[in-house]
Amino acid sequence: MGAGVMSKEGGGGRRGRRRGGRARPMSEINVTPFVDVMLVLLIIFMVAAPLMVVGVPVKLPETAANSLPTEQEEPLTVTVTAEGAIMIQTTDTPSAELIPRLRSIAAERDSDRIYLRADGAVPYEQVMQVMGALNKGGFKNIGLVTDPGGPTMGGN
């Protein structure tokens, strides 16, 4: 990748000829293979980036609420699936162990913000029980995660 050899025969007239008769190395770098590799890597990362989203698949309810501002730390997420399973990030957690685990996590974190994701099929009572457990576990700043595009209830 890089150096080539120029032929003995120059370009035509007297100026292109050399007396030694030896070929001289070409000192230009060919960047075409480098650009090709970079474009392939760009495409690979563009395809792979959406697949790296971590989470438990749930059908979130849709609302017209605005997004919360982003944080410095990785957000802590608790998910309630349609079957009623409770998960901290992607770890399945029995409801009896939820508060002790949340207290140990809260002791290690700087922020008291936590996000609650609940499937739309989960009863309201169960969502409120999990919110109470989050509060008792040391997290006072609870954000409910929804999908955008829901009913605006008369708003613009």
Once rounded to an integer, what is the mean pLDDT over residues 93-118? 90
Asked whether residue 25 is assigned to any structural domain, the reply reads yes
- Check whether 20 has a pLDDT greater than 70: no
The torsion angles phi and psi of 38, rounded to 5 degrees, stand at -65, -40
Q: Are residues 77 and 142 in the same domain?
A: yes
Q: Are residues 2 and 79 in the same domain?
A: no
Q: Are residues 23 and 67 in the same domain?
A: no
Residues linked to residue 93 through DSSP beta bridges, in sequence order: 86
Neighbour count for residue 108 (Cβ, 10 Å): 6
Q: Are residues 72 and 39 in the same domain?
A: no
Q: Kindly state the tokens that stand for 19.
A: 């007396």
CATH number for the domain spanning 70: value is: 3.30.420.270
Distance CA 73, CA 111 (A): 8
Once rounded to an integer, what is the mean pLDDT over residues 20-29? 75
Asked whether residue 129 is assigned to any structural domain, the reply reads yes
Give me the pLDDT at residue 35, please.
Answer: 92
- Check whether 106 has a pLDDT greater than 70: yes
Q: How does pLDDT run across 121-132, given as a tens digit for each residue?
A: 999 999 999 999
Confidence at 19, pLDDT banded by 50, 70, 90 = low
- Check whether 72 has a pLDDT greater than 80: no
Are the C-beta atoms of residues 147 and 67 closer than 8 Å to each other? Answer: no
Indicate the pairing of strand 86-88 with strand 91-93. antiparallel
Q: Are residues 45 and 70 in the same domain?
A: no
Asked whether residue 153 is assigned to any structural domain, the reply reads no
Are the C-beta atoms of residues 125 and 97 closer than 8 Å to each other? Answer: no
Once rounded to an integer, what is the mean pLDDT over residues 70-91? 85
Q: Are residues 75 and 36 in the same domain?
A: no
Please tell me the total count of domains within the chain.
2
- Check whether 50 has a pLDDT greater than 90: no
Q: In 20-99, where do the E strands start and end?
A: 62-63, 77-80, 86-88, 91-93
Once rounded to an integer, what is the mean pLDDT over residues 129-152? 86
Domain that holds residue 26: 1-8+19-53
Asked whether residue 155 is assigned to any structural domain, the reply reads no
Q: Kindly state the tokens that stand for 54.
A: 């971590």
